[in-house]
């Protein structure tokens, strides 16, 4: 099974690309890290409890008002109401962790340490399910794909990017009008310059562009994005035909060898990238 890593930065169109890949003619299963991240911090989960314990004392608006739900009638035939646990106030938590200050970077690191392990475990379980179902490919939709190291398990990486940061900011504030200009800028910066992610993917693809790393530019409308995505998928399909996925499913030992080789190649590519970036910094 081919794992297609889909990434980008906030408001670059990654979610739109994901929805296109989930629809015909591709109809690929999507593993959305953002949706999983929401589930693992729902009230009552270990992630929720850890966030409340750490951020609650210093973030007064961390929790939203609790909702009440109807309970079954009691012995006297009277219906009762029971309060649910208070859900997280995500905008308040975002203001606490997004930004460039040392305090916000530290808080973001703490939040990531709470959320990322749980998300990673759920992703691995979802990948195993799709493999057993015989899926040709699965899309791993992760905003921080490179930063989390999840690119190591991907056979192909697609970065959705925009060339003009102003377009990115405009789209973000149109999508989330409650964000101030400062909040929007902090969120964009927290996910890194998307052009850096594009460079990372193209380096992964090699001197001659290959399906291992591709950029899909989303500076136009949805039709333009569909056309760019179609080009990328044509290359990806040619590099990993459906019959190859069936062969790996029917011969598990071969699948293990291929997966190990893929991880090893990606690891060596990452080391080469890191070395190149260190040498560039040394020249400054």
pLDDT in tens, 105-137: 899 999 999 999 999 999 999 999 998 888 999
Strands 30-32 and 137-141, how do they pair? parallel
The torsion angles phi and psi of 198, rounded to 5 degrees, stand at -60, -45
Alpha-carbon distance of 84 to 62, in angstroms, equals 16
Q: Write the CA distances from 170 to 87, 97, 164, integer angstroms.
A: 29, 22, 10
Query: Are the CB atoms for 124 and 107 separated by under 8 Å?
Result: no
The separation between CA 110 and the C-alpha centre of its own chain, rounded to angstroms, equals: 18
Count of alpha carbons within 13 Å of 127, Cβ hemisphere only? 19
pTM for this predicted structure: 0.84
- Could you tell me the two tokens for 8? 């980008």
**Per-domain boundaries in the chain:** 2-60+87-283
For residue 82, pLDDT over 60 is answered with no
Residue 120's closest CA among 96, 142, 98?
Answer: 142
Res. 55 pLDDT band, cuts 50 70 90: very high
Q: Alpha-carbon dihedral of residues 260, 261, 263, 264, nearest 10 degrees?
A: 120
DSSP string, 181-208: HHHHHHHHHHT--HHHHHHHHHHHH-SS
Cα-Cα-Cα-Cα dihedral sign, residues 125, 126, 129, 131: negative
Q: What is the mean pLDDT of residues 212-238?
A: 93
Burial of 234 (0-12, 13-18, 19+ CB in 10 A): exposed
Q: What is the mean pLDDT of residues 190-205?
A: 85
Q: Give the CA radius of gyration of the chain.
A: 21
For residue 81, pLDDT over 70 is answered with no
Cα-Cα-Cα-Cα dihedral sign, residues 118, 39, 33, 2: positive
Q: Does domain 2-60+87-283 have CATH number 3.40.50.720?
A: no
Q: What is the pLDDT of residue 69?
A: 55
Res. 192 pLDDT band, cuts 50 70 90: low
Which of the residue ranges 27-31, 114-118, 207-211 would you say has the lowest mean pLDDT?
207-211
Rounded to 5°, angle at Cα 164 from 25 and 216: 25
Residue 187's closest CA among 112, 104, 87?
Answer: 104
Res. 283 pLDDT band, cuts 50 70 90: confident
Residue 189's closest CA among 165, 219, 211?
Answer: 165
Q: What is the pLDDT of residue 74?
A: 54
83 or 23, which is more confident: 23
Average pLDDT over all residues of the chain = 87
Res. 3 pLDDT band, cuts 50 70 90: very high
Res. 51 pLDDT band, cuts 50 70 90: very high
What percent of the chain is predicted at pLDDT more than 70?
92
The separation between CA 60 and the C-alpha centre of its own chain, rounded to angstroms, equals: 28
């Amino acid at each position: 099974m081919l794992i297609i890593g889909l990434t980008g930065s906030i408001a670059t169109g990654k979610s739109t690309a994901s929805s296109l890949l989930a629809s015909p003619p591709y109809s690929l299963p999507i593993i959305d890290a953002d949706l999983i991240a929401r589930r693992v911090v729902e009230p009552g989960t270990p992630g929720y409890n850890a966030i409340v314990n750490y951020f609650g004392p210093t973030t007064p608006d961390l929790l939203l008002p609790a909702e009440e739900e109807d309970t079954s009638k009691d012995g006297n035939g009277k219906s009762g109401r029971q309060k649910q646990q208070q859900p997280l106030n995500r905008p308040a938590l975002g203001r606490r962790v997004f930004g460039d200050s040392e305090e916000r970077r530290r808080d973001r690191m703490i939040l990531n340490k709470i959320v990322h392990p749980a998300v990673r475990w759920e992703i691995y379980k979802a990948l195993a399910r799709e493999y057993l179902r015989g899926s040709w490919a699965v899309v791993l939709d992760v905003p921080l794909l490179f930063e989390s190291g999840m690119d190591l398990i991907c056979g192909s990486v697609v970065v959705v990017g925009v060339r003009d940061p102003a377009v990115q900011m405009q789209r973000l504030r149109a999508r989330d009008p409650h964000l101030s200009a400062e909040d929007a800028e902090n969120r964009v910066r927290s996910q890194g310059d998307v052009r850096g992610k594009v460079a990372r993917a193209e380096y992964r693809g090699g001197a001659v562009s290959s399906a291992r790393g591709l950029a899909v530019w989303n500076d136009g409308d949805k039709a333009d994005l569909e056309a760019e995505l179609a080009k990328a998928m044509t290359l990806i399909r040619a590099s990993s035909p459906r019959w190859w996925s069936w062969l790996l499913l029917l011969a598990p030992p071969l699948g293990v060898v291929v997966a190990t080789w893929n991880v090893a190649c990606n690891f060596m590519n990452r080391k080469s990238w890191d070395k190149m970036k260190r040498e560039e910094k040394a020249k400054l």
